[in-house]
C-alpha cells in the first residue's frame, strides 16, 4: 500500500449552541491510503457527515487537522469533489453545463471541456440527456450527473454524503454497481457516508463505524470479500449481523438521548 492519502489527526468538532455545547466529533484518527473505498457508517447524529464536511473543507474541525493529498485542508476545493445527497445540480444549467462547470471555473478552453463532458456522458450513460435541464431527470439520473460533475474535476479524492439515500432500492443498486465500476477504473480514494449497513458492506474496502455523540471511531473493519459481492452470501450476512449489532447499540443511544431531550423540554 502506498502512503496515506488522507490523514485525519486528533480531529474534534464542537458545535456551540445557546443552551449547550454539542461534541459532534472527538479525537478521530484515520489514515486512508490512496485508492481505498472507505464507508463511514453510523446512525444519524454520529458525526459522519460532520467528518465528511470537515474533509471537504466546508466546516473545519475545532481541534486537530486533516491532510488530504499532502495539503492541510482549510477550505473547500475541486481537489476534493463532493457528491451530495440532494444532488445539488444547478437547475439553470443543462446536464452538459453542470458537468463542465468545474472545468469552466478552472479556465479550460471550450472544446476541451466539451471533450471531457462527452467522455463522462458516455461513461455514465447520459448521452441522451446532454441538453436537458435537471428538472427533467429522475433522481437516479440526477445523481449520475452529480457524479460526472465531480469526475470532471479529475480529483484523486471523491467525497460522497449519503449520495444514494434518496433513491429507490433498484436504482440504488444500479448506481452502486456503476460507482464500483468507475472506482475500479479510475482508482479514486473515496469516503462514502451512509447509514445503510448493507450499502457499506456492498461497496467498501473498509468500514468505519462511528459512535453517537460524541462521534468517535467505534470500529474500523477491513472488508476483504471479493467483488461484486453477493448480499445473500453467508459471509456478507455474518458481517451484516456483526455491524448491525454495533450500529444498533449507537442507534439505541441516539434514541435514548432523544427521549431524554424531550423530557427536559
**Contacts with another protein: how many residues (CB under 8 A)?**
27
Residue 121 near residue 145 (C-beta atoms within 8 A): no
Q: Around Cβ 236, how many Cβ atoms within 10 Å?
A: 17
Min CB(39)–another protein separation in Å: 20
DSSP state of 77: -
Sheet containing 37-41: give its strands across: 80-83, 157-161, 189-194, 37-41, 206-210, 217-222
* Cβ nearer to another protein, comparing 128 with 257: 128
DSSP state of 245: H
Binding segment (CB under 8 A) for another protein, from list 81-89, 181-189, 234-242, 247-255: 81-89
CB neighbour class for 2 (10 Å; exposed up to 12, middle 13-18, buried from 19) = exposed
- Please report which helix (H) or strand (E) contains residue 175, including its range: helix 169-186
Check residue 244 for interaction with another protein (CB under 8 A). no
> Using CB under 8 A, which of 35, 60, 76, 140 touches another protein?
76
> Using CB under 8 A, which of 9, 84, 154, 216 touches another protein?
84
Check residue 166 for interaction with another protein (CB under 8 A). no
Check residue 15 for interaction with another protein (CB under 8 A). no
- C-alpha cell of 234? 453467508
Site string for another protein, 95-114 (x = CB under 8 A): ------xx-xxx--------
Binding segment (CB under 8 A) for another protein, from list 1-9, 74-82, 203-211, 220-228: 74-82
Min CB(150)–another protein separation in Å: 8
In the block, residue with C-alpha cell 439520473: 141
- C-alpha cell of 115? 471533450
Site for another protein in 142-161 (CB under 8 A): 149, 153
- C-alpha cell of 139? 433522481
* Cβ nearer to another protein, comparing 15 with 101: 101
> Using CB under 8 A, which of 86, 128, 220, 258 touches another protein?
86
Sheet containing 71-72: give its strands across: 21-33, 4-16, 63-68, 71-72
Site for another protein in 109-138 (CB under 8 A): 133-135
- C-alpha cell of 204? 467498501
Min CB(64)–another protein separation in Å: 22
User: Binding residues for another protein, per CB under 8 A?
Assistant: 56, 58, 75-78, 80-82, 84, 86, 88-93, 101-102, 104-106, 133-135, 149, 153
Amino acid at each position: 500500500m502506498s502512503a496515506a492519502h488522507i490523514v485525519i489527526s486528533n480531529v474534534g468538532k464542537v458545535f456551540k449552541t445557546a443552551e449547550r455545547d454539542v461534541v459532534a466529533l472527538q479525537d478521530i484518527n484515520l489514515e486512508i491510503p490512496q485508492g481505498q473505498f472507505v464507508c463511514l457508517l453510523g446512525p444519524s447524529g454520529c458525526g459522519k457527515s460532520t467528518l465528511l464536511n470537515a474533509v471537504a473543507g466546508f466546516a473545519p474541525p475545532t481541534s486537530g487537522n486533516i491532510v488530504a493529498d499532502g495539503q492541510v485542508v482549510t477550505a473547500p476545493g475541486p481537489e476534493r469533489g463532493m457528491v451530495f445527497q440532494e444532488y445539488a445540480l444547478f437547475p439553470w444549467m443543462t446536464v452538459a453545463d453542470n458537468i463542465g462547470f468545474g472545468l469552466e471555473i478552472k479556465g479550460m478552453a471550450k472544446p476541451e471541456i466539451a471533450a471531457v463532458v462527452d467522455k463522462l456522458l458516455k461513461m455514465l450513460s447520459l448521452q441522451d440527456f446532454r441538453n436537458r435541464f435537471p428538472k427533467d431527470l429522475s433522481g437516479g439520473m440526477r445523481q449520475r450527473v452529480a457524479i460526472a460533475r465531480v469526475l470532471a474535476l479529475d480529483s484523486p479524492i471523491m467525497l460522497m454524503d449519503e449520495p444514494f439515500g434518496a433513491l429507490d432500492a433498484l436504482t440504488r443498486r444500479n448506481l452502486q454497481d456503476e460507482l464500483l465500476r468507475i472506482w475500479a477504473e479510475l482508482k479514486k480514494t473515496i469516503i462514502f457516508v451512509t447509514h445503510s449497513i448493507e450499502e457499506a458492506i456492498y461497496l467498501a474496502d473498509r468500514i468505519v463505524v462511528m459512535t453517537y455523540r460524541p462521534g468517535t471511531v467505534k470500529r474500523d473493519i477491513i472488508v476483504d470479500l471479493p467483488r461484486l459481492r453477493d448480499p445473500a452470501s453467508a459471509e456478507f450476512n455474518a458481517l451484516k449481523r456483526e455491524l448491525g449489532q454495533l450500529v444498533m447499540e449507537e442507534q439505541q443511544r441516539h434514541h435514548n438521548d432523544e427521549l431524554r431531550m424531550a423530557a427536559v423540554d
